Amino acid sequence: MNYVFKPTPPATVAVLETTDRLPVRRIFCVGRNYAAHAREMGTDPDREPPFFFTKPADAVVDSDLTIAYPPQTKNLHYEAELVVVIGTAGRNVMETDSLSHVWGYAIGNDLTRRDLQLQAREQRRPWDMGKAFDKSAIIGPVHQSEKIGHPTEGIISLTVNGEMKQNANITELIWSVSEIISILSHSIKLQPGDLIMTGTPAGVGPLVEGDTCIVSIDGLGQIKTTIGPRF
């Protein structure tokens, strides 16, 4: 193959306790997957099947970095999330078989330009500029499910400058990891390296320049991000 210019190397995320990197193919995100968060966003959690949006693979950022406050927003938000990493391709996956497609789990922070997202929602336009901007997916080291199994309960929490902002349990997910994988695989064929950000609990709010944001999930450690000056 003779490329007309050098292709960009794949985006990658860290793998716990190794120097290996996991190549990212796509990032799928579940909208409103905790009832209390759906309510704080002004929607009814009981009547909605899960819906998905995406971020580009190269939106990923490692933990323990400073990222610039992104452009075009006055309301950057954090969102603590459990991230599922797909290791085995699959389409029309049955719920009972879903977990066999998982390579591992990580902690994520689904950074959101909330003003742009809500403006798009009101105008019935796509969410991309609110959700899919550069460095919008902070993803911690991936814990291999072969070693840790499949987390079904545990506290998911987020602090800003040490102050607790989100505090829930992954048992509160409206749609479980197994259900999400099955439902998504009926729309698209899942591929190795696909990440699924499973949604955020209630308590979303702003980050400003100089803030330090830490997301923790029982069994998966924590990820830390500092917000630098506006880009």
User: In the complex, which residues of this chain contact Mn ion (CB under 5 A)?
Assistant: 79, 110, 200
Tokens found for residue 14: 């860290």
Cβ closest to Mn ion, residue 50 vs residue 192 = 50
**Closest approach of Cβ 147 to Mn ion, in Å?**
26
**Closest approach of Cβ 136 to Mn ion, in Å?**
10
Of all residues in this chain, which one has the CB nearest to Mn ion in the complex? 110
**Closest approach of Cβ 5 to Mn ion, in Å?**
34
Cβ closest to Mn ion, residue 79 vs residue 194 = 79
The angle at the Cα of 86, spanning 82 to 89, to the nearest 5 degrees, equals: 155
Query: Contact, 26 vs 195, CB < 8 A?
Result: yes
Residue 64, CA atoms < 13 Å, CB-side half-sphere: 6
**Closest approach of Cβ 112 to Mn ion, in Å?**
7
Cβ closest to Mn ion, residue 104 vs residue 199 = 199
**Closest approach of Cβ 67 to Mn ion, in Å?**
17
Strands lying side by side in the sheet with 221-230: 65-69, 221-230, 212-217, 155-160, 163-169
Cβ closest to Mn ion, residue 53 vs residue 103 = 53
Q: How far is residue 226's CA from residue 213's CA, in Å, rounded to a whole number?
A: 6
Name the phi and psi angles at 30, rounded to 5: -95, 130
Cβ closest to Mn ion, residue 110 vs residue 194 = 110
* Residues pairing with 78 in the sheet: 205
